[in-house]
């Protein structure tokens, strides 16, 4: 039996067939390191430029939107001013049209009244509106003139009804204190007419 103490190299086993020495050479790998740094710097620069471009783009878009908003606001103010002017003009036109219609109405009514009134009848007072209902204080020379006046109005197609009341006879005195021969009758004439007929250009 061979003693291990006699041949200690017997126990030495070479488990690594070939040893590869590790040696980091700075000069050899500096190019790779610099390339990686350049790539990283380019990436950071690209990201920075991209963010800067995006910021400028958003600023330009915001300024354009603000300009458009200001322009639209001015247009809205101009349209509001124009609409107010149009509304004011329409109100004046409506008022003028109303006045014109009323003027035509009353002109036609009084023309019709004059046309359908006897020469012996005169009017002392007038009450009524566009509804077609009128109350006329009048005077006539005789009761017969009142009767003829009523008949003349009933012959007009515009008249719905005529009613005479409060007829009072009075005989005026002359300058010497004696009663005059001409009799004077005061009466009230209630007249109902079709109001639409007087809105035409010509009354019957």
Q: What DSSP element (H or E) covers 54?
A: helix 26-115
Predicted pLDDT of residue 4: 47
Q: What are phi and psi of 117, to 5 degrees?
A: -115, 135
- Residue 126 domain-assigned (yes or no): yes
Query: How many domains, in total, are found in the chain?
Result: 1
- Residue 67 domain-assigned (yes or no): no
Check if the beta carbon of residue 185 is closer than 8 Å to that of residue 145.
Answer: yes
Provide the CATH number for the domain around residue 122.
3.30.1360
- Residue 77 domain-assigned (yes or no): no
- Residue 188 domain-assigned (yes or no): yes
Phi-psi label, residue 132: left if phi above 0, alpha if psi -120 to 50, beta otherwise: left
Q: What is the pLDDT of residues 124-181, one digit of tens each?
A: 998 988 888 999 999 999 889 999 999 999 999 999 999 998 777 766 555 555 445 5
To the nearest 10°, report the CA torsion of 120, 126, 127, 129: 90
Q: Round to whole Å and give the CA distance between 78 and 71.
A: 11
What is the residue whose two structure tokens read 């003139």?
A: 145
- Residue 51 domain-assigned (yes or no): no
One digit per residue, the tens of pLDDT, for the chain of length 204 reads: 444 455 555 445 555 555 555 555 556 678 787 888 888 888 888 888 888 888 888 888 888 888 888 888 888 888 888 888 888 888 888 887 777 777 777 888 888 999 999 999 999 998 988 888 999 999 999 889 999 999 999 999 999 999 998 777 766 555 555 445 556 899 999 999 998 877 765 555
pTM: 0.48
- Residue 122 domain-assigned (yes or no): yes
- Residue 48 domain-assigned (yes or no): no
Q: What DSSP element (H or E) covers 185?
A: strand 184-193
- Residue 22 domain-assigned (yes or no): no
Give the domain extent around 156: 116-199
């Amino acid at each position: 039996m061979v003693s291990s103490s006699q041949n200690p190299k017997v126990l030495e086993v070479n488990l690594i067939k070939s040893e590869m020495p590790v040696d980091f050479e700075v000069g050899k790998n500096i190019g790779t390191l610099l390339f990686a740094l350049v790539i990283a710097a380019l990436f950071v620069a690209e990201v920075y430029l991209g963010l800067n471009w995006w910021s400028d783009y958003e600023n330009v878009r915001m300024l354009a939107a603000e300009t458009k908003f200001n322009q639209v606001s001015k247009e809205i103010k101009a349209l509001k001013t124009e609409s107010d002017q149009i509304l004011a003009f329409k109100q004046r036109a409506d008022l003028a049209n109303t006045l014109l219609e009323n003027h035509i109405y009353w002109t036609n009514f009084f023309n019709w009244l004059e046309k359908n009134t006897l020469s012996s009848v005169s009017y002392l007072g007038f009450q009524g509106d566009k509804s077609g209902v009128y109350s006329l204080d009048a005077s006539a020379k005789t009761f017969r003139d009142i009767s003829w006046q009523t008949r003349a109005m009933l012959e007009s197609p515009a008249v719905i009804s005529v009613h005479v009341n409060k007829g009072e006879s009075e005989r005026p005195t002359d300058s010497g204190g004696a009663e005059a021969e001409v009799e004077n009758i005061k009466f009230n004439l209630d007249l109902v007419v079709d109001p639409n007929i007087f809105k035409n250009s010509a009354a019957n």
